Amino acid sequence: MELMGDKNDLPKQDQQWARQAWAHLSRVRQQSPLIQCITNFVSMDFVANVMLAAGASPAMIHSIEEIPDFTPKAHALYINVGTLTPDWLPAMKLAIQVANENKKPWVLDPVAAGASGFRLKACLELLGMKPAVVRGNGSEIIALFKGSEDSDSKGVDSMHESTDAVEAAKSLAQVSGSIVSVSGAVDIVTDGQRVVGAKNGISMLQKITATGCSVTALIAAFVAIDPSRAFEATASAFSVFGVASEIGMDMAKGPASLRMHMIDSLYGLDQATVLHRVNISAI
Amino acid sequence: MELMGDKNDLPKQDQQWARQAWAHLSRVRQQSPLIQCITNFVSMDFVANVMLAAGASPAMIHSIEEIPDFTPKAHALYINVGTLTPDWLPAMKLAIQVANENKKPWVLDPVAAGASGFRLKACLELLGMKPAVVRGNGSEIIALFKGSEDSDSKGVDSMHESTDAVEAAKSLAQVSGSIVSVSGAVDIVTDGQRVVGAKNGISMLQKITATGCSVTALIAAFVAIDPSRAFEATASAFSVFGVASEIGMDMAKGPASLRMHMIDSLYGLDQATVLHRVNISAI
Amino acid sequence: MELMGDKNDLPKQDQQWARQAWAHLSRVRQQSPLIQCITNFVSMDFVANVMLAAGASPAMIHSIEEIPDFTPKAHALYINVGTLTPDWLPAMKLAIQVANENKKPWVLDPVAAGASGFRLKACLELLGMKPAVVRGNGSEIIALFKGSEDSDSKGVDSMHESTDAVEAAKSLAQVSGSIVSVSGAVDIVTDGQRVVGAKNGISMLQKITATGCSVTALIAAFVAIDPSRAFEATASAFSVFGVASEIGMDMAKGPASLRMHMIDSLYGLDQATVLHRVNISAI
C-alpha cells in the first residue's frame, strides 16, 4: 500500500521503465532463451540457478569442438573471465565469432580486469570483438577504459565508486560501440549518450560470491529476447535482480539465506511487485 | 494417516518396491560406498552434497595419474559429460577400463548428448564401454539411440517426453546391454525387457541445475551396494530422490529453498516415509 | 545465561584464547585481507562464501600468467589439492614461490593426501616449500607424516581419529617447520612443541562437502592478519568456524540448512557469543 502510494508519486518516466522491466521478464519466462555460458568455475552453479529461476535456459558449454554445432542454436552468449587461463581464450573467441556471424548478442563480464596484465589484455581483445553489453564494477570499467586508452595503469582498485565510473563508462561505450554498465550502489547503464541509473538492490549482495557474474548472465538472457534494445534490456535485468534481492533481504538472516531467498524471489516475482518496486531513472 | 490408508490399497507389487527402496537406502547409509565421480564443473558441489546426505562417500578425482591407484578402491564410478572437453576423455576411459577390470559398476550421465557431434561421438564411445546404467532425459536417450543406429539426427530436442522415449530406451538397453533409465514426469527404468515407472518427484526440480546429475550420482551409489541388481537399484534411487524432493517441496518457497529442503529431507528420510510414499510399478 | 555461568567457571587460559579469537575475527573484518585461492572445483563457491561471510576478500586466480602481477598483492595464499591434475602444479608452485619471496604466509590443504602416489608426491613437494600452516584430517596428516618418513604406506584410511594423529602432527611440525593442524571431534594445532585442542564444532559438518576446505581457507585469512602468530591464528580460525557451526546447528534441519545457517552465523558472530562459546585449551 505504502509502496503504491510512493510509486504513484513517481514521474511518468519511471513507470515506463518498470512496465518495460516486467515485459522483459515476462518474455524471458515465455521464450526461455538458450544462453551459452563460458564462465568461471566459482560461479557456474549459482549463475545456472539464477538463470533457471528467471526462466532462461543456461548451457555451460566451453569446449571449442562443440562451438560450431552448438553456438548457432543459442539465443545469446555469455563470456566471463573470472578464472581465465590461456587455454580457455580460443574457445571464448571462437564462440564470439560464431555468435557474431549468426547475429546473436553476446555479453562480457570482465571480472577483475585490472588484476594482471594477462587478464587486462585478454579483456581488451574480447572487448574488441563487439559485445552487445559489458558489465563490470567501477574498478573493472575504469581498468578497461584506461587499458583501451593505452594507459599503463593496470592495478586493481576497489575504491572506485560506480558513480565515479560514469565518465569512464560513457567514454568506453563511445569507443567500443557496446552498452557499458557499472554495478554499484546505483547500477549505471550507458550507450555513450544516454545514461540511466537502476537503484534497486542491497549492499549485502557484496557478501555473496558471484552476484556480479549472475546479474551479467541475467543481462544476457534479457538481451537475448530484445537484442535490438540492449540498453533497455540491461536496465531491466539490473532492476529485476535488484528487486529480487530486496525481497530476499526481507527474509534473510545473513548472506547465505539471502542468496536462497533472492533466487526464490526471482522465481516468484509478479507484475505488481515489479511495477511497484522498479526504480530506474535518467542520470 | 491418509497416506497409510492410500498405500494400504496399493497392489502388493508396489509395496515390494517400496521395501526394496528402503533396504537400498539403508545399505547405502550403513556401507557408505566410495563413489569416484568424474563429472562436470556445474554440478560438483551439489552432487557431492546429495551423495553425502544419502550416506555415500563421493570422491571427485579426475586426474589420469591417480586412476591406477584410486579407482580400484572405489565401489562404483560415475561418469558425466556435462562440461566435457577432449582432455577429460582419456581419464574417463581409463577409469572405466579400471572399473571394468575390477568388476566395479559404473554409471553414465550423457548430458546434452545431442548438443554437438563431438559430444554424441564421445557419449557413444563411452556407451560402448558397458556402463551398468545410463540415465538421461528423453532427448538424451533418443539422441543416443539414434546415434547408435548411425542416424544423422544430432539435434537437441527437449520436446520429447520421457514416455515417448520408452521405446528408444528399451531398444538402447537391448543393444547396449546396460540398464537404461529416462527422467521425466515418470522416471522410466528398463533392462530391455522389463520396464518400470518411478512416479515420485516434482516438476520444480527442472528449475534447479544439476538435479539430473545428482540423481545419476545417487544411482551410482545404489548400484554400488547391489551391483548384481542394477535394474532394481536404479528404480530405488529414482524413488528416494523423488520422495525427498516431494517432502522438500512441502517446505519450499521456490527452487533455491527446494534444493536445500530436498537435501535435508534426503538426509532425514525414515522407513515409514519411504514405505508410504515410494510409488513404482511395472509399465 | 547458562552459557555465561558455564564460562565463568572456565580457567583463565580459556578466556584468553576466546578473547584472542574475537580479536582475530575483528581484524579480519576490519582489514578484509585479500586471499589468493588455488583450490579444487568442488569447493570454490562454498569457500568463497565462507571467506566473504568472515570479512575476508577471496580471489580464485590460478593462471600461471597472472601470478607475477597478482600474488604480490595478496595478503596470503591458499593452496588446496582436492581436484589436482599435473597442469595445476606449476601454478601452485610459482604462486608459493612468489608468496615466499614477498614474505606472505601460505596455507596447505592436502586433501586426500594418501589417495594416490601422484597426490602424495605432490603434497610432499608442496610441504617442502614451507607453508605457514598445514590443515588436514587425521588420515591426511598421517599419510603426509609417513610419506615424509619415506614409508611405503600410501593408502587412504579414514579410521584414524584426530587424537590418534597428534603424534604424527607433532613430528610433522618438527620436520617441516610448519604449524600442523588436524580436524576432528577436537581440532588439534601444534607447532611441534605446543599442542592445543579447539573443541567447538559439530559432527554433521562431515555431511557437507568442502567444510575442511573452508576452514583451511579461514585459517589463511586469520594467518594473513597475524602472520607472526600462525599457531594462535589457526586455533582462532578453527574456533570461529566451530562456533558458527554450533549456532547454525541450532536452526538446521539437515546438512543443507546447516550449511546456510552456518554461513549466516559466521557473518553475524558478535563478541559476546565468541567470548562465551570459544573452547580452546592446551593438550
pLDDT digits (tens, 9 = 90+) for C89-133: 999 999 999 999 999 999 999 999 999 999 999 999 999 999 999
pLDDT at C6 over 50: no
Amino acid in the structure at residue C151: S
Strand C187-190 to strand C179-183: parallel, antiparallel, or no bridges (unpaired)? Answer: antiparallel
Please check whether residue B129 lies inside any domain of the structure. Answer: yes
Write out chain B residues lying below 8 Å of C254, CB-based: 53, 263-268
pLDDT score at B150: 56
ipTM of predicted assembly, 2 dp: 0.92
Q: Find the residue in B nearest to C209 (Cα).
A: B49
Please check whether residue B66 lies inside any domain of the structure. Answer: yes
Split chain B (283 residues) into runs of 10 and give each run's mean pLDDT.
43 83 98 98 97 98 97 98 97 98 98 97 98 97 87 44 80 97 96 97 97 98 98 98 98 98 98 97 93
Q: Which residue of A260, A269, A273 to mutate against B (max B Cβ within 10 Å)?
A: A260
CA distances for C162 relative to B59, C139, C179, C205, angstroms: 21, 8, 15, 15
Q: How close C144 comes to chain A (CA, Å)?
A: 29
- Cross-strand bridge partners of residue A107: A78, A133
List Cβ neighbours of A110 (8 Å cut-off, separation of 6 or more): A81, A123, A126, A127, A134, A136, A140, A143, A144
Q: CA A101, CA B204: separation in Å to the nearest integer?
A: 36
Strand A187-190 to strand A280-282: parallel, antiparallel, or no bridges (unpaired)? Answer: unpaired
Q: How close B109 comes to chain C (CA, Å)?
A: 18
Given CB atoms, is A251 within the 8 Å cutoff of chain C? no
pLDDT score at B10: 52
Given CB atoms, is A14 within the 8 Å cutoff of chain B? no
Given CB atoms, is A273 within the 8 Å cutoff of chain B? no
Given CB atoms, is A171 within the 8 Å cutoff of chain C? no
Write out chain C residues lying below 8 Å of A47, CB-based: none
Angle, helices A211-224 vs A230-251, to 10°: value is 140
As a whole-number percent, the residues of chain C with pLDDT over 90 amount to 88
- In the DSSP assignment, the letter for residue C205 is G
Q: Which residue of A47, A84, A85 to mutate against C (max C Cβ within 10 Å)?
A: A85
pLDDT score at C162: 55
Given CB atoms, is A29 within the 8 Å cutoff of chain B? no
Q: Identify the chains in contact with C, defined as 3+ C-beta pairs within 8 A.
A: A, B
Selection from B265, A260, B46, A254 nearest residue C208 by Cα: B46
User: CB contacts < 8 Å between A and B, how many?
Assistant: 91
Write out pLDDT tens, residues C122-175. Answer: 999 999 999 999 999 999 999 999 998 754 443 444 445 555 789 999 999 999
Q: CA A226, CA A105: separation in Å to the nearest integer?
A: 10
Q: Do C260 and A255 touch (CB under 8 A)?
A: no
Q: Which residue of C89, C116, C154 to mutate against B (max B Cβ within 10 Å)?
A: C116
pLDDT score at C8: 46
Write out chain A residues lying below 8 Å of B85, CB-based: 62-65
Amino acid in the structure at residue A164: D
Given CB atoms, is A202 within the 8 Å cutoff of chain C? no
Per-residue pLDDT of chain A (283 residues; tens, 9 = 90+): 334 444 445 556 679 999 999 999 999 999 999 999 999 999 999 999 999 999 999 999 999 999 999 999 999 999 999 999 999 999 999 999 999 999 999 999 999 999 999 999 999 999 999 999 999 999 999 999 999 875 444 344 444 555 578 999 999 999 999 999 999 999 999 999 999 999 999 999 999 999 999 999 999 999 999 999 999 999 999 999 999 999 999 999 999 999 999 999 999 999 999 999 999 999 9
Conformational region of residue B11, where left means phi above 0, alpha means psi within -120 to 50, and beta covers everything else = beta
Given CB atoms, is C89 within the 8 Å cutoff of chain A? no
Given CB atoms, is C263 within the 8 Å cutoff of chain B? no
Given CB atoms, is C268 within the 8 Å cutoff of chain A? yes
Write out pLDDT tens, residues B59-118. Answer: 999 999 999 999 999 999 999 999 999 999 999 999 999 999 999 999 999 999 999 999
Selection from A239, A231, A232 nearest residue A215 by Cα: A239
Given CB atoms, is A209 within the 8 Å cutoff of chain B? no
Q: What are phi and psi of C61, to 5 degrees?
A: -130, 115
Give the CATH number for residue C217.
Answer: 3.40.1190.20
- Cross-strand bridge partners of residue C183: C137
Radius of gyration of chain B (CA): 18
List Cβ neighbours of A237 (8 Å cut-off, separation of 6 or more): A24, A215, A218, A219, A221, A222, A223
Write out pLDDT tens, residues C183-215. Answer: 999 999 999 999 999 999 999 999 999 999 999
CA distances for A14 relative to A197, A276, B265, angstroms: 11, 10, 44
Given CB atoms, is C254 within the 8 Å cutoff of chain B? yes
pLDDT score at B265: 98
Give the cell for residue A8: 504513484
Selection from B198, B128, B140 nearest residue B169 by Cα: B140
Domain count, chain A: 1
pLDDT score at B160: 53
pLDDT score at A150: 56
- Cross-strand bridge partners of residue C196: C189, C282
Given CB atoms, is B208 within the 8 Å cutoff of chain A? yes
Contact criterion met (CB below 8 Å) for C133 and C223: yes
pLDDT score at B6: 47
Element (H, E) at A195: strand A195-198
Contact criterion met (CB below 8 Å) for A134 and A172: yes
Q: How close B55 comes to chain C (CA, Å)?
A: 8
Selection from C178, C179, C115, C177 nearest residue C147 by Cα: C115
pLDDT score at C13: 63
For B9-24, letters b (16+ CB in 10 Å) and e give eeeeebeebbebbbbb
Q: Do A253 and C264 touch (CB under 8 A)?
A: yes
> Helix/strand/coil (H, E, C) string of chain B?
CHHHHHHHCCCHHHHHHHHHHHHHHHHHHHHCCEEEEECCCCCHHHHHHHHHHHCCEEECCCCHHHHHHHHHHCCEEEEECCCCCHHHHHHHHHHHHHHHHCCCCEEEECCCCCCCHHHHHHHHHHHCCCCCEEEEEHHHHHHHHHHHCCCCCCCCCCCCCCCCCHHHHHHHHHHHCCEEEEECCCEEEECCCCEEEECCCCHHHHHCCCHHHHHHHHHHHHHHCCHHHHHHHHHHHHHHHHHHHHHHHHHCCCHHHHHHHHHHHHHHCCHHHHHHHCCEEEC
Q: Which residue of A267, A269, A270, A273 to mutate against B (max B Cβ within 10 Å)?
A: A267
Domain of A258 in residue numbering reads as 2-282
Q: Do B255 and A265 touch (CB under 8 A)?
A: no
